[in-house]
Structure 1
Amino acid sequence: MELLFSEENKIIPIVLSAIFLLLFMVVSLVLFFRFARKKIIEKELEKSAIKLASQKKVLQATIETQERERKRIAQDLHDAISAKLNVVSLHINMLLDGSLTTNEQQESLSNVLGVTTNVLESSRQIAHDLLPPILEKFGLVEALKELLAEFGATKKVVAQHQINYLTTLTKAEELHVFRIVQELLNNSVRHGKATLMRLELQDAAGEMKLTYKDNGKGFLVKQAFNEGGLGLKNIKSRVAILNGEIQIKSSLNQGATFTIIIKHNSYE
């Protein structure tokens, strides 16, 4: 009997130790999972904050682009039209005054005709900048081909293309795509000093993929965005307006590649 009690006295501390160890492990696991969950939540919040900040930057860039375009249009209207219409108004007032000789009247009318012709040409040019006529009449494919041909016609660059596009975007969306390509070409020539540019446009079920490459001097992508280059901001803001995604690959002296994916519902 004494031996039995002695064995029980040895077992009890072992059992208690096992229970305490089990409790310790359970508490440790609970604390670990709580800590891990807290870290996951913090990471998600951090990602959300970064995403929100990025969205704010894109929105700000979009607003800046729109405001800059409005200012440019207002300046063009003022410089190219308002000033000339003031000249027309002065000539008409002189004609209505009745103090001009016949020769002076003829000269004044000739001046009015010349100024109004210039105003009409300026108006057409401003309208062309807002919405290229070829885009309005013949669609995105022909507008892009003409744009690339204009760059290639300079003989300083080679502008290649492979375009497979069906009419899956609205006119407003096509204008954004046109402006994106226009900005890419301008950046390649002006900043990248490229001599070869290639545009590939593929329209598959549910999405349009635009790939643009050049052999320019390239750039550091993160640095370019941090320095606030307007060209890249404009491109990114237009892609955001289209609810698209953009990927940029570039390094110094290695050219640049832009891949833009735009989802659409044309095949749904």
Structure 2
Amino acid sequence: LGRAMATADLLVPGARPAVAGPAEAAQLIATYNTMLDRLQAERAAGAGRALQAQERERHRIARELHDEVGQTLTAVLLQLKRVADRVPGELREEVSLAQEATRSGLDEIRRIARRLRPGVLEELGLPSALRSLAAEFTHHGLSVEHHVPGDLPPLAPEAELVLYRVAQESLTNTARHAAADHAALSLRPLADGVELLVRDNGTGLGTAAEGAGIRGMRERALLIGAEIHFEPAPGGGTDVRLRVPAPPGERSADRTGDSP
């Protein structure tokens, strides 16, 4: 019981000490397990409220970037085009550089807005959103291949968002910290849900403590009752594996269909 208390982590559900020993000790262990279950449920509920607020704020910022900053930069581009037609020849190169810088800034604003609010997820669904994400990260020396079938089992919108955000955070970590040149993103149906796997050929997990990105992924997985594992990949690198259960109605329907 002492070892369990010293190593308990509310973001890693399921680890419980066995109820055994004399009656008083067994009762104490059972009470501790019940307390841990309650704390994890409260943590999941709190994380859910925080993540929902975070998503609302992301949507607001993305909308303002697109509607306000994006439109302002578009107007600047149009103004620069009118100026370019009238300036003396010796200034045209400088105006052209200003146009290019403004255009690059507009593209960056749009890219940030897409990451903050994955419109493709809402409009075209999870498979298309994951394929688009893999294409977006294929740059600057990193190649990302994807294996995402179109015939996935029905998932709740919250589960689809968690799958997308975990894939996004995993590829972000790969691009920033893993020193990898190749990553693979795959999503496959299981008998009782789906499994997301993001694998890279980088430097691996190492011995450093988990950062905010990994703990954020754990919180998102806990929110929808999913399992997430961070493991060494075969041949080096890192595997991020997320198993998301199907909605209860879908699981029961599958079992009914499989029975004789």
- After TM superposition, the score normalised by the length of structure 2 is 0.59
Q: 1:160 aligns with which of 139, 145, 165?
A: 145
| Larger Rg over CA atoms | 1
Q: Which moved more, 1:61-70 or 1:181-190?
A: 61-70
Q: Relative to 1, partners in 2 of residues 1:151 and 1:64: Cα closer, same or farther, differing over 3 Å?
A: same
Please say if 1:212 is aligned against 2:198: yes
CA distance in 2, matches of 1:54, 1:241: 10
CA distance in 2, matches of 1:66, 1:259: 23
Q: 2:237 aligns with which of 248, 255, 262?
A: 255
Q: Secondary structure at the match of 2:164?
A: helix
CA distance in 2, matches of 1:82, 1:72: 15
Within 5 Å, which residues of 2 pair with 1:176-191? Answer: 176-191=162-177
Determine which structure has the larger helix proportion and give its number. 1
* Count of aligned positions: 196
Q: Secondary structure at the match of 2:178?
A: coil
1:49, distance to aligned residue in structure 2 (A): 3.5
Q: State the partner residue of 2:119.
A: 132
CA distance in 2, matches of 1:83, 1:151: 24
Q: Secondary structure at the match of 2:202?
A: coil
Contact in 1 for aligned 2:65/2:113 (Cα 8 Å): no
1:82, distance to aligned residue in structure 2 (A): 6.6
CA distance in 2, matches of 1:266, 1:72: 31
CA distance in 2, matches of 1:157, 1:125: 19
Q: Relative to 1, partners in 2 of residues 1:147 and 1:126: Cα closer, same or farther, differing over 3 Å?
A: closer
Contact in 2 for aligned 1:202/1:209 (Cα 8 Å): yes
1:259, distance to aligned residue in structure 2 (A): 1.9
One-letter identity of the residue aligned with 1:201: L
1:52, distance to aligned residue in structure 2 (A): 4.0
Q: 1:146 aligns with which of 132, 148, 151?
A: 132
One-letter identity of the residue aligned with 1:260: L
CA distance in 2, matches of 1:59, 1:221: 30
Per-residue CA distance 1:208-246 (angstroms, 9 max, x = gap): 12222222333358931xxxx331232122222322112
Contact in 1 for aligned 2:196/2:241 (Cα 8 Å): yes
Contact in 2 for aligned 1:202/1:208 (Cα 8 Å): yes
CA distance in 2, matches of 1:166, 1:239: 19
Contact in 1 for aligned 2:62/2:117 (Cα 8 Å): no
Contact in 2 for aligned 1:58/1:236 (Cα 8 Å): no
CA distance in 2, matches of 1:127, 1:150: 10
1:48, distance to aligned residue in structure 2 (A): 3.5
CA distance in 2, matches of 1:247, 1:39: 32
> Unaligned 5+ residue runs, structure 2?
1-19, 72-108, 254-260
Q: State the partner residue of 2:222.
A: 240
1:68, distance to aligned residue in structure 2 (A): 3.8
Contact in 2 for aligned 1:215/1:256 (Cα 8 Å): yes
CA distance in 2, matches of 1:123, 1:186: 17
Contact in 2 for aligned 1:198/1:212 (Cα 8 Å): yes
CA distance in 1, matches of 2:184, 2:202: 12
CA distance in 1, matches of 2:171, 2:222: 19
CA distance in 1, matches of 2:231, 2:165: 20
Contact in 1 for aligned 2:201/2:238 (Cα 8 Å): yes
Q: Secondary structure at the match of 1:223?
A: coil
Identical-residue share of aligned pairs (%): 22
1:123, distance to aligned residue in structure 2 (A): 9.6
> Unaligned 5+ residue runs, structure 1?
1-33, 86-121
Within 5 Å, which residues of 2 pair with 1:1-268? Answer: 36-75=22-61, 126=113, 129-133=116-120, 135-152=121-138, 154-164=139-149, 165-219=151-205, 223-224=209-210, 229-250=211-232, 254-264=236-246, 265-266=249-250, 268=253
CA distance in 2, matches of 1:221, 1:168: 38
